[in-house]
Amino acid sequence: MPAPPLLPDPTLLAGGAAGPRALRPLLDTVLTALAEGAAARCGPLPAGGPEAVTRRLLERCGPALPAHGTGAHDALHSLVGALAEGAADPADPHCAAHLHCPPLAVAAAADLAAAALNPSLDSWDQAPAASALERHLTSALAELVHPEGPAPDALVTSGGTEANLLGLLLARERLGPALRIICGANAHHSVHRAAWLLGLPAPTVLPTPRGILDPAAVADALAGLDALRCTTAAPAPALVVGTAGTTDAGAIDPLPALADTVAAHRDHRPTALHIDAAYGGPLLFSAAHRAKLTGLDRADSVTLDLHKLGWQPVAAGLLTVPETATLAPLGQRADYLNAEDDTEAGLPDLLGRSPRTTRRPDILKIAVTLRALGTTGLAALVDATCAAAAELAALIEAEPRLSLHSRPTISTVLFRPADATDEEVADIRRRLLTEGRAVLGRARARGADGRDTLWLKATLLNPHVQPGDLAALRKLVLDLSPPRPKGDQP
């Protein structure tokens, strides 16, 4: 064949020796567009609400499938600019609704290398060094969670949801399809979704009026399981799912008592314990906070998520286990990826390390972050974030027109205008969103008066937040609050 015509500029590749040269000017355009977008937005999110934001985006991005391209620089400039202008940016101190962290620049920069090299972790011959790096890091992280485990191991997941799914799946495979799941009303919705996906019965949900599981209620539920199954003499296997850092309040279930409860039932029925520490897990890095996770090491599987309190770009989830053999059910044979003779010849078999096949090396940004900061550096970020939440709670407490739900366990602060109705609380949140002033979350929780009400939720994840930012956030809410101080109640 004759040498084909050189393909045009936008088809330059990111990899190879020429990749860095191709990337450099494009990255300049991206950085310019990010800066312009942030300047145009000028706040935590764009004003105007969904319709206005969508309209502005569509004006800038044009047809989705144009016949003819506009070139790499125009495409990057217009679309990245539009995305930045229309972002809810967690790097803004007033963007604090969700477990949605502002990523570290060093982690985002590392992630570029993952995209450029594009290793895929389903076979060694697509990721020789990346797969070795993943093994190295996951072992160390698993040992951090399960220091006494016989053979700690961890899988990298697309987030807490996939890690919870794997926790349930591994329990189903180990204990059998009759598995019953017991969790609290405070558990993440992904536990329910995983049970549905896996074809398991819906979990038994225990009330958590104080925001955390009651181990006595768990014991009762375990004892009551057999009543559900009259067709067999064998006790139904069970998986207890606890949470270390609830989504609504950042609360941590009583882990040692849960582990004791599960251990006490193991004589009678096969019982396992999974802890969803997607949020709270990184407290392990902090000498000041790690005692809150005492008992975590006794779980049979643990969900972690470094795109929350670990400042990674999405995705950076993990499932850790104390014993690598429990991961065996994920093993799979596909001749093109892990033929037996290849495995015998020494090529590592990676296929059982994920329910996905093609898989990006999310471990790279985590590894770079840990080397850049060290565990003490990461602990400093954890401590600063928890301190900011304590500071916000103190500011709320000092303001008579606001009620604080409780002192934060991690970095979530629930508060509300005193005397506001639930509708008013929901409306304040939506007004702040629509006006582009703040991104706050919401959570239903029982207050000191014993009533279930709706609260505003500030999930602080920005370690650089300053006291002035928190005072300004409080003022934003106060300005929209009903004008009745606490003392004026009828």
Neighbour tally for 62: CB within 10 Å: 12
Output the CA torsion 33→38→44→49 (10° steps).
-60
Q: Which of residues 203-222 bind a second copy (CB under 8 A)?
A: none
Q: Does 358 bind a second copy (CB under 8 A)?
A: yes
Q: Which is nearer to a second copy, 294 or 358 (CB)?
A: 358
How many residues touch a second copy under the rule CB under 8 A: the total is: 186
Closest to a second copy by CB, 186 vs 481, is 186
CA–CA dist 57, 46 (Å, integer) = 11
- Is residue 341 at the binding interface for a second copy, with CB under 8 A as the rule? yes
Strand 271-276 to 402-404 pairing: unpaired
The least distance separating a second copy from the CB of residue 404, rounded to whole angstroms, comes to: 16
Name which of residues 14 to 33 contact a second copy (CB under 8 A): 14-17, 19-24, 26-27, 29-33
Q: Is 124 in the site for a second copy (CB under 8 A)?
A: yes
The interface region with a second copy, picked from 42-50, 214-222, 226-234, 237-245 by CB under 8 A, is 42-50
> Where in 74-103 is the site for a second copy (CB under 8 A)?
74-76, 78-80, 82-92, 97-103
| Among 205-213, 253-261, 288-296, 327-335, the segment contacting a second copy (CB under 8 A) | 327-335
Q: Any contact of residue 442 with a second copy (CB under 8 A)?
A: yes
When binding is defined by CB under 8 A, the residue of 49, 235, 254, 447 that contacts a second copy is: 49
Q: How far is the CB of 273 from a second copy (least distance, A)?
A: 22
- 179, 173, 232, 233: which is closest to 201 by C-alpha? 179
Judged on CB neighbours under 10 Å (0-12, 13-18, 19+), 344 is exposed
From the CB of residue 325, how many other CB atoms can be counted at a distance below 10 Å?
A: 10
Beta carbons of 215 and 295 less than 8 angstroms apart:
no
Q: Spell out, one character per residue from 223 to 262, where the chain touches a second copy: x when CB under 8 A holds, - when not.
A: ------------------------xx--------------
**What distance in Å separates the CA atoms of residue 53 and residue 46, rounded to the nearest whole number?**
7
Is 445:414 a contact under the CB 8 Å cutoff?
Answer: yes
Quick check: 129 binds a second copy (CB under 8 A)?
Answer: yes
> How is residue 487 written in tokens?
């003392």
Q: Tell me the per-residue interface mask from 138 to 177 with a second copy, x by CB under 8 A, - otherwise.
A: -xxx--x-------------xxxxx------x-------x
Q: How far is the CB of 22 from a second copy (least distance, A)?
A: 4
First vs last C-alpha separation in the chain: 89
Q: Which range of residues in 3-11, 212-220, 289-297, 402-410 is near a second copy by CB under 8 A?
A: 3-11
Q: How far is the CB of 125 from a second copy (least distance, A)?
A: 5
Kindly state whether residue 67 participates in binding a second copy, applying the rule CB under 8 A.
Answer: yes
Residues 392-421 close enough to bind a second copy by CB under 8 A: 394
For residues 207-222, one letter each, b for 16 or more C-beta atoms within 10 angstroms of the residue's C-beta and e for the rest, the string is ebeebbbbbeebbebb
The least CB distance from residue 38 to a second copy, in Å, is 5
Q: Which of 151, 257, 339, 478 binds a second copy (CB under 8 A)?
A: 339
Chain centroid to Cα 52, Å, comes to: 29
Q: Which of 205, 217, 257, 384 binds a second copy (CB under 8 A)?
A: 384
Written as one letter, the residue type at 182 is: I
Q: Which of 167, 313, 322, 408 is in the footprint of a second copy by CB under 8 A?
A: 313
369 belongs to the binding site for a second copy (CB under 8 A): yes
448 is a contact residue toward a second copy (CB under 8 A): no
Cβ density class 29-60: b for 16+ within 10 Å, e for less: bbeebbeebbeebebbbbebeeeebeebeeee
Binding-site member from 205, 257, 380, 472 for a second copy (CB under 8 A): 380
Q: Are 186 and 248 in contact (CB under 8 A)?
A: yes
Minimum CB–partner distance for residue 417 and a second copy (Å) = 17
**CA nearest to 393, candidates 414, 372, 373:** 414
Cα–Cα dist 41/94, whole Å: 13
Q: Which of 217, 257, 260, 356 binds a second copy (CB under 8 A)?
A: 356
CB atoms within 10 A of CB 386: 23
- Residue 205 parent element (H or E): strand 204-206
